[in-house]
Amino acid sequence: MIHALRLMGERGVTGLALCLAFGAQAQEAPRAVPIGDVARGAEVWVFCSGCHQIGAGAENGIGPHLNRIFGRRAASVPEFPYSRSMQRAGRDQLIWTLETLDAYLENPKALVSGTRMSFEGLPDPEERADLLAYLRDFSASPANIPEAAPTARALVPALAPEVLAIAGDTAYGEYLSSECKTCHQSDGSDEGIPSIVLWPEEDFVLAMHAYKQKLRPHPVMQMMAGRLSDEEIAALAAYFGKLGL
């Protein structure tokens, strides 16, 4: 278990629920395995190719080109008009790695709330792994990709369904929210600090867990989310989700 925690920590995944769920498999040392199947990934790419180009001569279109995406900072392709949310993620040093790309592909808005990528996400971890293997082939410097273990990460859901199913205690959420309101305004104003009111509860929960697992990059939010329990995150989601209605 300790071994598993250390390995997962290296990959930036520290969620307790995840560690517990994963405990049974963690006795065996992971071996190096391919990220996914490149040929199947090329088939998954059809979801992306309407907006993105990749390979020789790829240019920005509706979405930015995806050559050398691995190791690239979010919102860093010159002259592409990224959303404010993606620009913020880039300034906060969100780097596209196997883990962050996987989280983004699973649910784009959970990682970057205001992204303009109108794609609902790929729930199937194998499809994501195959697509990532395909994308990786177009990255010139894949040295940042750990050769061992990446498939293990992709096979474990970021959040157990029972965590998503927790009904939030709104009264508790109201108390906890007082800490958020030091910076985030309850009327939804967005001046340098984004609005957090009236989010769909599941998006809120996913976003907070993404901070807690340090997938989302902002240090203040990583700290704030880091000490919240699953119940407390659900309570906040319930409270802010209906604030002012």
Which residues contribute to the site for other proteins (CB under 8 A)?
88, 90-93, 171-172, 174-176, 178-179, 181-187, 189-193, 219-220, 222-224, 226-227, 244
* Alpha-carbon span 114 to 211, nearest angstrom: 16
Distances (CA, A) of 107 to 114, 120, 173: 12, 6, 24
Q: Minimal distance in Å, beta carbon 13 to other proteins?
A: 17
- d(C-alpha 114, C-alpha 141), whole Å: 29
State the minimum distance, in angstroms, from the CB of residue 140 to other proteins: 22
- Per-residue CA distances from 94 to 42, 192, 216 (Å): 26, 18, 7
Distance CA 190, CA 92 (A): 17
Least Å distance between CB 220 and other proteins?
Answer: 6
Q: How far is the CB of 186 from other proteins (least distance, A)?
A: 8
Alpha-carbon dihedral of residues 64, 68, 71, 73, nearest 10 degrees? Answer: -20
**CB-nearer residue toward other proteins: 3 or 181:** 181
Residue length of the chain = 245
Nearer to other proteins, 28 or 191 (CB): 191
CA distance 50 to 120: 14
Minimum CB separation of residue 103 from other proteins in Å reads 21
Query: CA dihedral defined by 73, 79, 80, 83, rounded to 10 degrees?
Result: 80
9 or 34: CB nearest other proteins: 9
Q: Across the strands, what pairs with 73?
A: 95
User: Whose Cβ is closer to other proteins: residue 68's or residue 184's?
Assistant: 184
Q: State the nearest-atom distance from the C-beta of 209 to other proteins, in Å.
A: 16
Backbone angles phi, psi at 100, to 5 degrees: -70, -40
SS3 68: coil
* Cβ distance to other proteins smaller for residue 32 or 193: 193
Q: Which 8-state DSSP code applies to residue 127?
A: H
In the complex, least distance from residue 228 CB atom to other proteins, rounded to whole angstroms: 9
Nearer of residues 60 and 185 to other proteins, judged by Cβ: 185
Whose Cβ is closer to other proteins: residue 119's or residue 172's? Answer: 172
Q: How far apart are CA 210 and CA 231, in angstroms?
A: 15
